[in-house]
Structure 1
Amino acid sequence: MPGPDESGRDAERPRAAKRRRVIQQGRIVAGPERLVACTIHDLSRAGAKIRLSPRIALPESFDLVIVGDELSTHRARLRWRRGDFAGLTFEAS
């Protein structure tokens, strides 16, 4: 039975949504007056992979503002964290 692959995901479980590689700026809403800059590297309807300093602690859930052609905000839940990268799933609104 296959175990997790190098991304930490279970090799047998397909992704919920097709992801696309992007390089977009994002902001994590870490408090009422605290925004943390990040870079979004992969994006899908279901979640994202972001890059930020490993010294920055992330809460279990937070709002992620994506700066692109239009601003969009998603309620996100932290799924994994390795070094500079973190995987997020978007919560249904």
Structure 2
Amino acid sequence: MDATGYTSSFSGINMMTIGDRRSIERARISKGALLSFAGRPGVFACTVYDITNSGAGIRLHDLRIIPLEFALTLDNFSSLRRCRLIWREGDFSGVAFDPD
């Protein structure tokens, strides 16, 4: 985090950090993103609300069923993160990024 309160960017997005009880510092954002699922055509919209180097909190926008593993992009597939579903509560989910 620099003197302005911003952390390094994820795909060019400046993110302001927030404090909470987690051991890993998270950055609060509200950014549209896309999900893609192996073996399923098309992409699906979601919103990323917080993010770290190891995972993110996302809102799934009425996706009732998602696989345990999928890909997430914040920049229209210029970069892609492989994800694992960790928890889900209604439309909100926590995902862990697979190591590159």
Q: Which has the higher contact order (CA 8 A, sep 6+)?
A: 1
**Does residue 64 of structure 1 match 2:72?**
yes
Determine the structure 2 residue equivalent to 1:79. Answer: 86
Report how far residue 57 of structure 1 moved.
Answer: 1.0
Moved over 6 A (4+): none
Determine the structure 2 residue equivalent to 1:24. Answer: 31
RMSD over aligned Cα, in angstroms?
A: 2.1
TM-score by length of 1: 0.73
Q: Determine what percentage of the aligned residue pairs are the same residue.
A: 33
- Contact 1:24-1:67 at 8 Å conserved across structures: no
Report how far residue 80 of structure 1 moved.
Answer: 0.3
| Higher share of residues assigned strand | 2
Task: Measure the CA separation in 1 of the matches of 2:32 and 2:75.
Answer: 5
TM-score by length of 2: 0.68
List alignment gaps of at least 5 residues for structure 2: 1-20
List alignment gaps of at least 5 residues for structure 1: 1-10
Report how far residue 78 of structure 1 moved.
Answer: 0.1
Report how far residue 71 of structure 1 moved.
Answer: 3.9
Deviations 1:25-68 (A, max 9, x none): 11110245220100000011000000013443110111111138
Shift in alpha-carbon separation, 1:65–1:55, aligned structure 2, 3 A? closer
